[in-house]
Structures are given as C-alpha cells and as structure tokens.
Amino acid sequence: MSKVVASAIAGALSLTSAGGLTMVQALDRDTVTFSVDGVSQQAKVKPGTVKQALAQQGITVGPHDDVQPSLDSEIHDGQVITVNYGRRVVVTIDGKKVVRWTTAKNVSEVLEQLNQSDPDNLVSVSRSLDISRAGLSFSMQTAKHVTVTVAGKTQTVTAVGTVADAFKAAKVDVDSNDIVNPGFGTPLADGMKISLTMVDQKTQKRRVSVPFATKKVKDSALAKGETEITVKGVNGINEETWTAVFKDGKKVSEKKVSSKVVKAPVAQVVKVGTRTSDPSSSTSSSSRRSSSGSSASQASSSNPVTSGTTCVASTYGEGDGTAGGPTASGETFNPSAFTAASRTLPLGSTIRVTNVNNGRTVTVRINDRGPYVGGRCLDLSTAAMNAIAPGEGLVTVRYS
C-alpha cells in the first residue's frame, strides 16, 4: 500500500462522527433486543453489561422486577434482554389478606402462582383481567366440599359461601319452618356436615260427639224414687280444627286451635218423684194442677182430646241433623220446645194432641211444615213426642 493511501485511511479513522464519536467508536456497537413486559424492540448499544445496556435505553428496574440475563451479565451482539416488571398484588382469600409481588400479567396467572386456580373458586374480578404496573387488589372465596343430608339421604356438593349456598348447589328448597344445622349464614368449611330436617304443618278437621247433660226436675206427682224421662237427651256435634306438625314426614305433635258447634246437644230432662203422701192426697194435688190449666211445656193425662182428627204422628229433631236449622215460620228449630209441623194448620196456631193409647195430652204450637210421608198428619218435636209417648217414633194421636 502506498504511503498516500495509508495516510488517507488513518486520517479517515481519526475523523469524528456526526454523533461526536470517532468512526472506530461508531462501528463498535452490538444489536440487542429488549423485551419489556412482552413488548420487544431492537437497538444498538455499546458493549458492556446488561445494566449499562438498559441505562442506555432509559429502562429503569427495581428490586421486584425480573431481568434476564442478570444485570451484571456481559452483552453480545444479538443479545435478548427480558424485563418483566414486578406488580404488587393484594388478594383476600376467605377473609385472609395475602400480599405478593409478582411478574404475572393477569389475574389467572396470579391464581396459578397461589395454587388457587380451581374453576369453582369465586373471584371478585375477571380471571382474564390484566394487571397494570400500579398493581391490583381483589378477593376470592375458595370452593368447599361438604355433605348435605336431607331426610336421611346424603349427597356431597361443592359450593362457595355459606350453608345457604350449599343447599342451592344441592338443589334443595328450604322453607322457614325447616330446621337447618348449622345455620344458613354459617361460612362453609371443607368436610362440613350439613343437615336439614323438613318440618311441615298440616291442618286437620275432626267431628267429635258432645255428650248431652241431664237435668233433673222434682215432681210431686210421682212417688218418691220414681223417675220419668220427659225429654230424651241427644248428643251434640262439634267440629274441631287441629294443627299437626310433621318432621321428615312423621307426625311429632298436634294441637287443637279452634272448635265450633255443628249441632248443639239436647239436655235430657228427668222427672224425679217426691210424693210421699197417700194416693188420695196425690189425686187432690193432681186435680188442683188440672184446674189451673196445662201449659205448652207439660203433658197431662186428664182432659184428653175426644173429638177431632185422628192420624199417625211422627217425631223429628233427635239425631237427624234438624236441630238448629230454620223452620217454615223463620224461627230456629229447637227440639226441646213444644212445637209441631203440619202441612195444613196455620203457622203460629196452637193445638192439643192426645196419644190415643195412653190418653196423655200435650199442647203444641205449629211453627213448621210437614210431614211429607203419606198417612201422617203431624211431626212432633222431640220434647212433644216424649211428653205423650217417651222413646217412641210413631204414635196414633187425636188433635183439635
């Protein structure tokens, strides 16, 4: 090489580049790829360490950031430097706070690092949510494996939250009467045993017999020690309402909550003899009662009906469900009153009725219509029939 050429080359190498570097310095550069949080860019840097290369690019890293290769590593041409910034993540797991610095880019990656990636876990944010360099706070509830026993049948379910959520997972409907152990608001724990006792209340109606009372009336017309039933007693009927409690289908208790009268009982009236005097005295006493006249509530064997209509009379009111019902006159039927039903006699009229077999006579008031059976002319109340023919259902009578 000629001295002229060599001198020219040396002069050229000693020239300063436009950037202030000599040509030798300008040519001494390495091509490096910087990957920062997954974003890559190439740049030419002076030889040196990773730390120096990052500084040339204005990339600052801290103690929680991950740099590969290490900051002290020497770079070379074609080098790839990876920087992943650390992020402060606060996760509240089942009420307990966990603080962690991580280079994870989204919530899903954080959950994997915490071994909490179970898809049944309930996370307060989306699992795909990106985490900025500012960090993130979120909460989660872990899924629990529990057993639910209902009416003796047990199943295992996975649920998040409370006992109420376990029943939802088990597809069991619970109402306010049911007994749950532990309570609905109890937080779930792995292996928890939950039981449900199904409680039902059912209303039942029952008809019960009400015994009749007995009323004793002293009667001087009867000898002492003798008795005579003038009104035959009839049991009443009450309708009772009961509430029964069932647990898992078995009745455990019941309680009567109300009662109403369906048919009132008819008191039995019994005459009790008190006469201790001789028969003649009794006859005199009887004559005085006859002279004073008989009332509609008494029967007499004196002054029977000797002319008028003769027919068969029946009775109603005793155990046939008519007691307490309406009559044709509009009044309520009372079997203990001395009344009768007739198809033709005026309502409100009074007649005397005699049993042709024994001569006993009773005065009754017509307040109803009937009977509607051929051959019968009157339907006597229970009290009226017992006054002239105790215990009989049909009797031949004469009335006027």
Residue 312 has pLDDT above 90, yes or no: yes
What per-residue confidence (pLDDT) applies to 298?
59
| Tens digit of each residue's pLDDT (9 = 90 or more) over 119-130 | 989 999 999 999
Phi, psi of 20 (to 5 degrees): 95, -5
Q: Which two tokens stand for residue 38?
A: 């997954």
Element (H, E) at 331: none
DSSP bridge pairs for 399:
309, 353
What per-residue confidence (pLDDT) applies to 391?
86
Residue 285 has pLDDT above 80, yes or no: no
SS (H, E, C) 51-104: HHHHHHCCCCCCCCCEEECCCCCECCCCEEEEEECCEEEEEEECCEEEEEEECC
- pTM score of the predicted model: 0.44
Q: In degrees to the nearest 10, what's the CA dihedral of 294, 296, 297, 298? A: 30
Q: Is the model more confident about 169 or about 286?
A: 169
- Mean pLDDT of the residues in the chain: 85
Q: Which CATH class is domain 293-399?
A: mainly beta
| Whole-number percent of the chain with pLDDT over 90 | 61
**Chain centroid, CA 200 distance in Å:** 8
Q: Which CATH class is domain 3-84?
A: alpha beta
Homologous superfamily, domain 202-268: Resuscitation-promoting factor rpfb. (2.20.230.10)
| Strands, sheet with 236-247, edge to edge from the N-terminal-most edge strand | 199-210, 236-247, 250-263
What per-residue confidence (pLDDT) applies to 226?
85
Q: Domain residues of the chain, as ranges?
A: 3-84, 87-141, 144-197, 202-268, 293-399
> Which pLDDT band, with edges at 50, 70 and 90, does 277 fall under?
low
Residue 287 has pLDDT above 80, yes or no: no
Q: Is the model more confident about 1 or about 177?
A: 177
Q: Which two tokens stand for residue 265?
A: 């009982």
> Which pLDDT band, with edges at 50, 70 and 90, does 341 fall under?
very high
Looking at domain 144-197, its CATH architecture is Roll (3.10)
Can 87-141 and 144-197 be said to share one CATH topology? yes
| Tens digit of each residue's pLDDT (9 = 90 or more) over 168-179 | 989 898 888 889
User: CA of 316: how far to CAs of 268, 321, 325, 360, 365, in Å?
Assistant: 16, 9, 12, 19, 15
Least confident of 35-39, 66-70, 296-300: 296-300
End-to-end Cα separation, the chain, in angstroms: 175
| Tens digit of each residue's pLDDT (9 = 90 or more) over 16-43 | 443 444 444 445 799 999 999 889 999 9
* CATH classification code of 87-141: 3.10.20.30
Mean pLDDT for 146-172 is 90
Residue 198 has pLDDT above 90, yes or no: no
Phi, psi of 259 (to 5 degrees): -150, 140
**What is d(CA 336, CA 112) in angstroms, rounded to the nearest whole number?**
92
